[in-house]
Amino acid sequence: MRSESSVLIITNGLAAKSILLDRTLYSRQKPNAWMIKTFLIINPFTVSNNEYRKEFVASIFKMLSELYKPDNYKCFVEIVQRNIDERMILNEAVNLSQTIQIIVLNIFIKSFLNIDASNVLLNELPTLINRLWIKKNDQVSRTQILNLLTQETGNFSGSTAWQKIRRIMQDHKSSMMIELGLSDLDEEIGNALNIVIPGYETMWRVVFYTLLELIRRPILFNELRNSTSVELLIPCVKETLRLYPPTKSIYRQNIQSGQEIRIAIDQIHRDIGVWGLDANTFS
Protein backbone atom coordinates (compact mmCIF):
# COMPACT_ATOMS: atom_id res chain seq x y z
CA MET A 1 0.00 0.00 0.00
CA ARG A 2 1.27 3.51 -0.70
CA SER A 3 -0.18 6.97 -0.81
CA GLU A 4 -0.30 9.40 -3.76
CA SER A 5 -1.18 12.84 -2.34
CA SER A 6 -4.20 11.98 -0.23
CA VAL A 7 -5.28 8.87 -2.18
CA LEU A 8 -4.38 5.46 -0.77
CA ILE A 9 -3.13 3.16 -3.52
CA ILE A 10 -3.72 -0.57 -3.15
CA THR A 11 -1.31 -2.81 -5.07
CA ASN A 12 -1.98 -6.07 -3.23
CA GLY A 13 -4.62 -8.39 -4.67
CA LEU A 14 -5.90 -9.75 -1.36
CA ALA A 15 -6.21 -6.28 0.19
CA ALA A 16 -8.06 -5.16 -2.94
CA LYS A 17 -10.44 -8.11 -2.73
CA SER A 18 -11.41 -7.40 0.86
CA ILE A 19 -12.09 -3.73 0.05
CA LEU A 20 -14.19 -4.60 -3.00
CA LEU A 21 -16.27 -7.10 -1.05
CA ASP A 22 -17.04 -4.71 1.80
CA ARG A 23 -19.90 -2.62 0.44
CA THR A 24 -20.85 -1.29 3.88
CA LEU A 25 -17.50 0.44 4.58
CA TYR A 26 -16.47 1.49 1.07
CA SER A 27 -18.47 3.59 -1.35
CA ARG A 28 -18.13 3.29 -5.12
CA GLN A 29 -20.58 6.08 -5.80
CA LYS A 30 -18.65 8.95 -4.19
CA PRO A 31 -15.47 8.63 -6.29
CA ASN A 32 -17.56 7.99 -9.41
CA ALA A 33 -19.89 10.96 -8.88
CA TRP A 34 -18.05 12.96 -11.60
CA MET A 35 -19.69 10.64 -14.18
CA ILE A 36 -23.10 12.13 -13.39
CA LYS A 37 -21.95 15.58 -14.56
CA THR A 38 -19.64 14.47 -17.35
CA PHE A 39 -21.70 11.72 -19.00
CA LEU A 40 -25.08 12.34 -17.33
CA ILE A 41 -25.15 8.72 -16.19
CA ILE A 42 -26.91 7.36 -13.13
CA ASN A 43 -26.20 3.65 -13.42
CA PRO A 44 -24.96 1.41 -10.53
CA PHE A 45 -21.54 3.06 -10.76
CA THR A 46 -22.96 6.37 -9.52
CA VAL A 47 -26.02 5.36 -7.47
CA SER A 48 -25.79 3.16 -4.36
CA ASN A 49 -29.44 1.93 -4.28
CA ASN A 50 -28.97 -1.84 -3.98
CA GLU A 51 -32.35 -2.90 -5.37
CA TYR A 52 -31.75 -0.76 -8.44
CA ARG A 53 -28.25 -2.23 -8.88
CA LYS A 54 -29.56 -5.80 -8.64
CA GLU A 55 -32.29 -5.23 -11.24
CA PHE A 56 -29.93 -3.38 -13.58
CA VAL A 57 -27.27 -6.11 -13.37
CA ALA A 58 -29.83 -8.93 -13.72
CA SER A 59 -31.18 -7.32 -16.85
CA ILE A 60 -27.66 -7.08 -18.33
CA PHE A 61 -26.92 -10.73 -17.46
CA LYS A 62 -30.06 -11.72 -19.30
CA MET A 63 -28.99 -9.74 -22.36
CA LEU A 64 -25.53 -11.32 -22.20
CA SER A 65 -26.96 -14.83 -21.99
CA GLU A 66 -28.97 -14.18 -25.15
CA LEU A 67 -25.90 -13.13 -27.11
CA TYR A 68 -24.54 -16.58 -27.79
CA LYS A 69 -26.98 -17.50 -30.51
CA PRO A 70 -25.55 -18.65 -33.87
CA ASP A 71 -27.57 -15.97 -35.70
CA ASN A 72 -25.99 -13.26 -33.58
CA TYR A 73 -22.53 -14.58 -34.30
CA LYS A 74 -23.26 -14.46 -38.04
CA CYS A 75 -24.41 -10.88 -37.64
CA PHE A 76 -21.19 -9.90 -35.77
CA VAL A 77 -19.06 -11.36 -38.56
CA GLU A 78 -21.06 -9.39 -41.15
CA ILE A 79 -20.58 -6.16 -39.19
CA VAL A 80 -16.81 -6.73 -38.97
CA GLN A 81 -16.63 -7.59 -42.69
CA ARG A 82 -18.66 -4.56 -43.74
CA ASN A 83 -16.56 -2.15 -41.69
CA ILE A 84 -13.28 -3.59 -42.97
CA ASP A 85 -14.53 -3.53 -46.58
CA GLU A 86 -15.62 0.12 -46.27
CA ARG A 87 -12.17 1.09 -45.02
CA MET A 88 -10.41 -0.90 -47.71
CA ILE A 89 -12.42 0.86 -50.43
CA LEU A 90 -11.19 4.20 -49.08
CA ASN A 91 -7.70 2.84 -49.71
CA GLU A 92 -6.25 4.73 -46.76
CA ALA A 93 -3.99 3.52 -43.95
CA VAL A 94 -6.26 1.98 -41.32
CA ASN A 95 -6.20 3.47 -37.84
CA LEU A 96 -6.48 0.21 -35.89
CA SER A 97 -7.74 1.51 -32.54
CA GLN A 98 -10.31 3.77 -34.22
CA THR A 99 -11.50 0.97 -36.51
CA ILE A 100 -11.89 -1.41 -33.56
CA GLN A 101 -13.76 1.21 -31.55
CA ILE A 102 -16.26 1.67 -34.38
CA ILE A 103 -16.70 -2.07 -35.00
CA VAL A 104 -17.13 -2.92 -31.30
CA LEU A 105 -19.59 -0.05 -30.81
CA ASN A 106 -21.52 -1.24 -33.85
CA ILE A 107 -21.63 -4.84 -32.56
CA PHE A 108 -22.46 -3.74 -29.01
CA ILE A 109 -25.38 -1.56 -30.10
CA LYS A 110 -26.67 -4.18 -32.53
CA SER A 111 -26.29 -7.20 -30.26
CA PHE A 112 -27.30 -5.72 -26.89
CA LEU A 113 -29.92 -3.29 -28.02
CA ASN A 114 -30.83 -4.62 -31.46
CA ILE A 115 -30.36 -1.18 -32.96
CA ASP A 116 -28.83 -0.37 -36.34
CA ALA A 117 -26.79 2.63 -35.29
CA SER A 118 -26.29 5.40 -37.86
CA ASN A 119 -22.83 5.94 -39.38
CA VAL A 120 -22.70 9.38 -37.78
CA LEU A 121 -23.19 7.88 -34.31
CA LEU A 122 -20.62 5.14 -34.93
CA ASN A 123 -18.02 7.52 -36.28
CA GLU A 124 -18.44 10.34 -33.79
CA LEU A 125 -19.40 8.81 -30.43
CA PRO A 126 -16.05 7.01 -29.71
CA THR A 127 -14.03 10.23 -30.25
CA LEU A 128 -16.39 12.30 -28.10
CA ILE A 129 -16.33 9.74 -25.26
CA ASN A 130 -12.49 9.67 -25.42
CA ARG A 131 -12.38 13.45 -25.16
CA LEU A 132 -14.54 13.39 -22.04
CA TRP A 133 -12.40 10.72 -20.34
CA ILE A 134 -9.39 13.00 -20.87
CA LYS A 135 -11.08 16.31 -20.06
CA LYS A 136 -14.03 15.66 -17.79
CA ASN A 137 -15.47 19.18 -17.99
CA ASP A 138 -15.31 19.50 -21.79
CA GLN A 139 -18.73 21.12 -22.27
CA VAL A 140 -18.50 21.17 -26.07
CA SER A 141 -18.01 17.38 -26.35
CA ARG A 142 -20.69 16.79 -23.73
CA THR A 143 -23.23 18.85 -25.68
CA GLN A 144 -22.23 17.11 -28.93
CA ILE A 145 -22.77 13.67 -27.36
CA LEU A 146 -26.19 14.65 -26.07
CA ASN A 147 -27.19 16.09 -29.46
CA LEU A 148 -25.97 12.94 -31.18
CA LEU A 149 -27.96 10.68 -28.85
CA THR A 150 -31.04 12.91 -29.06
CA GLN A 151 -30.99 12.51 -32.86
CA GLU A 152 -30.99 8.74 -32.29
CA THR A 153 -33.75 8.80 -29.66
CA GLY A 154 -36.28 7.15 -31.98
CA ASN A 155 -33.79 4.40 -32.68
CA PHE A 156 -33.06 3.74 -29.00
CA SER A 157 -36.69 3.93 -27.86
CA GLY A 158 -37.50 1.19 -30.38
CA SER A 159 -35.16 -1.17 -28.54
CA THR A 160 -36.86 -3.51 -26.07
CA ALA A 161 -33.64 -3.99 -24.11
CA TRP A 162 -33.06 -0.26 -23.69
CA GLN A 163 -36.72 0.26 -22.74
CA LYS A 164 -36.28 -2.35 -20.02
CA ILE A 165 -33.25 -0.59 -18.54
CA ARG A 166 -35.10 2.74 -18.65
CA ARG A 167 -38.11 1.19 -16.93
CA ILE A 168 -35.86 -0.08 -14.12
CA MET A 169 -34.37 3.41 -13.74
CA GLN A 170 -37.80 5.01 -13.81
CA ASP A 171 -39.02 2.63 -11.07
CA HIS A 172 -36.24 3.78 -8.74
CA LYS A 173 -36.36 7.39 -9.81
CA SER A 174 -37.68 8.94 -6.60
CA SER A 175 -35.22 7.24 -4.25
CA MET A 176 -32.36 8.01 -6.62
CA MET A 177 -33.39 11.69 -6.77
CA ILE A 178 -33.23 11.87 -2.97
CA GLU A 179 -29.86 10.09 -2.87
CA LEU A 180 -28.30 12.31 -5.51
CA GLY A 181 -29.99 15.51 -4.31
CA LEU A 182 -31.27 16.21 -7.83
CA SER A 183 -34.64 17.72 -8.66
CA ASP A 184 -35.05 15.96 -11.98
CA LEU A 185 -33.57 12.83 -13.55
CA ASP A 186 -35.44 12.54 -16.83
CA GLU A 187 -32.46 13.56 -18.96
CA GLU A 188 -30.20 11.02 -17.23
CA ILE A 189 -32.76 8.21 -17.45
CA GLY A 190 -33.09 8.79 -21.19
CA ASN A 191 -29.33 8.70 -21.70
CA ALA A 192 -28.17 5.54 -23.50
CA LEU A 193 -24.62 6.13 -22.22
CA ASN A 194 -25.81 4.44 -19.02
CA ILE A 195 -25.38 1.18 -20.86
CA VAL A 196 -22.97 2.13 -23.65
CA ILE A 197 -20.17 3.35 -21.32
CA PRO A 198 -19.81 0.21 -19.13
CA GLY A 199 -20.22 -2.17 -22.05
CA TYR A 200 -18.49 -0.71 -25.08
CA GLU A 201 -15.70 1.18 -23.31
CA THR A 202 -14.39 -2.02 -21.75
CA MET A 203 -14.93 -4.36 -24.67
CA TRP A 204 -13.17 -2.43 -27.44
CA ARG A 205 -10.01 -2.35 -25.35
CA VAL A 206 -10.06 -6.13 -24.91
CA VAL A 207 -10.45 -6.66 -28.66
CA PHE A 208 -7.74 -4.10 -29.45
CA TYR A 209 -5.07 -5.47 -27.11
CA THR A 210 -5.82 -9.11 -27.94
CA LEU A 211 -5.35 -8.28 -31.60
CA LEU A 212 -2.09 -6.40 -30.92
CA GLU A 213 -0.66 -9.39 -29.06
CA LEU A 214 -1.81 -11.80 -31.76
CA ILE A 215 -0.30 -9.71 -34.56
CA ARG A 216 3.05 -10.22 -32.80
CA ARG A 217 2.44 -14.00 -32.73
CA PRO A 218 1.56 -15.01 -36.31
CA ILE A 219 1.67 -18.77 -35.64
CA LEU A 220 -0.79 -18.52 -32.74
CA PHE A 221 -2.91 -16.06 -34.73
CA ASN A 222 -3.11 -18.47 -37.63
CA GLU A 223 -3.98 -21.35 -35.33
CA LEU A 224 -6.84 -19.27 -33.89
CA ARG A 225 -8.09 -18.31 -37.33
CA ASN A 226 -8.31 -21.94 -38.36
CA SER A 227 -9.86 -23.09 -35.10
CA THR A 228 -13.58 -23.74 -34.83
CA SER A 229 -13.77 -23.69 -31.03
CA VAL A 230 -13.11 -20.97 -28.46
CA GLU A 231 -10.81 -23.20 -26.38
CA LEU A 232 -7.67 -21.46 -27.55
CA LEU A 233 -9.20 -18.00 -27.70
CA ILE A 234 -10.35 -17.94 -24.06
CA PRO A 235 -6.84 -18.12 -22.50
CA CYS A 236 -5.67 -15.43 -24.97
CA VAL A 237 -8.47 -13.09 -23.88
CA LYS A 238 -7.80 -13.85 -20.20
CA GLU A 239 -4.12 -13.02 -20.66
CA THR A 240 -5.11 -9.76 -22.37
CA LEU A 241 -7.42 -8.95 -19.43
CA ARG A 242 -4.50 -9.58 -17.06
CA LEU A 243 -1.90 -7.50 -18.92
CA TYR A 244 -4.18 -4.77 -20.24
CA PRO A 245 -7.17 -4.52 -17.87
CA PRO A 246 -9.69 -2.13 -19.47
CA THR A 247 -10.38 -0.75 -16.00
CA LYS A 248 -6.84 0.11 -14.88
CA SER A 249 -8.00 1.48 -11.54
CA ILE A 250 -11.06 0.96 -9.37
CA TYR A 251 -11.95 3.76 -6.98
CA ARG A 252 -13.53 3.59 -3.54
CA GLN A 253 -14.01 5.92 -0.60
CA ASN A 254 -14.01 4.86 3.05
CA ILE A 255 -17.41 5.97 4.33
CA GLN A 256 -16.22 6.49 7.92
CA SER A 257 -12.85 8.22 7.42
CA GLY A 258 -13.44 9.76 3.99
CA GLN A 259 -10.14 8.19 2.80
CA GLU A 260 -10.05 7.93 -0.99
CA ILE A 261 -8.71 4.66 -2.38
CA ARG A 262 -7.36 3.67 -5.79
CA ILE A 263 -7.05 -0.04 -6.43
CA ALA A 264 -4.25 -0.35 -8.99
CA ILE A 265 -5.57 -3.26 -11.05
CA ASP A 266 -2.80 -2.84 -13.65
CA GLN A 267 -0.09 -3.27 -10.97
CA ILE A 268 -1.87 -6.15 -9.21
CA HIS A 269 -2.11 -8.00 -12.53
CA ARG A 270 1.67 -7.72 -13.06
CA ASP A 271 2.79 -8.48 -9.49
CA ILE A 272 5.87 -10.74 -9.85
CA GLY A 273 5.20 -12.17 -6.38
CA VAL A 274 2.01 -13.66 -7.79
CA TRP A 275 2.67 -14.11 -11.51
CA GLY A 276 6.40 -14.87 -11.49
CA LEU A 277 9.37 -13.14 -13.11
CA ASP A 278 7.73 -13.14 -16.54
CA ALA A 279 4.71 -11.24 -15.19
CA ASN A 280 5.06 -8.63 -17.94
CA THR A 281 5.01 -11.17 -20.74
CA PHE A 282 1.94 -12.37 -22.62
CA SER A 283 2.17 -16.13 -22.16
Q: Smallest distance from the beta carbon of 87 to ligand HEM, in angstroms? A: 24
Counted residue by residue, the chain has a size of 283
Q: Smallest distance from the beta carbon of 247 to ligand HEM, in angstroms? A: 4
Q: Which residue of this chain has its Cβ atom nearest to ligand HEM in the complex?
A: 199
- Residue 8's region, left for phi above 0, alpha for psi from -120 to 50, else beta, is beta
DSSP calls for 157-197 = HT-HHHHHHHHHHHHTHHHHHHHHT-S--HHHHT-THHHHH
For residue 265, the one-letter residue type is: I
Q: Smallest distance from the beta carbon of 183 to ligand HEM, in angstroms? A: 26
For residue 90, the one-letter residue type is: L
| Residues within the interface to ligand HEM (CB under 6 A) | 28, 44, 53, 56-57, 60, 112, 195, 198-199, 202-203, 206, 246-247, 250
- Give whichever of 10 and 250 is closer to ligand HEM, judged by the CB atom: 250
- For 253, half-sphere exposure in the C-beta direction (CA atoms, 13 angstrom radius) is 15
- Give whichever of 29 and 155 is closer to ligand HEM, judged by the CB atom: 29
Q: Smallest distance from the beta carbon of 174 to ligand HEM, in angstroms? A: 21
Tell me if residue 261 falls in helix, strand or coil: strand
- Give whichever of 56 and 208 is closer to ligand HEM, judged by the CB atom: 56
For residue 64, the one-letter residue type is: L
Tell me if residue 138 falls in helix, strand or coil: coil
- Give whichever of 11 and 144 is closer to ligand HEM, judged by the CB atom: 11
- Give whichever of 128 and 261 is closer to ligand HEM, judged by the CB atom: 261
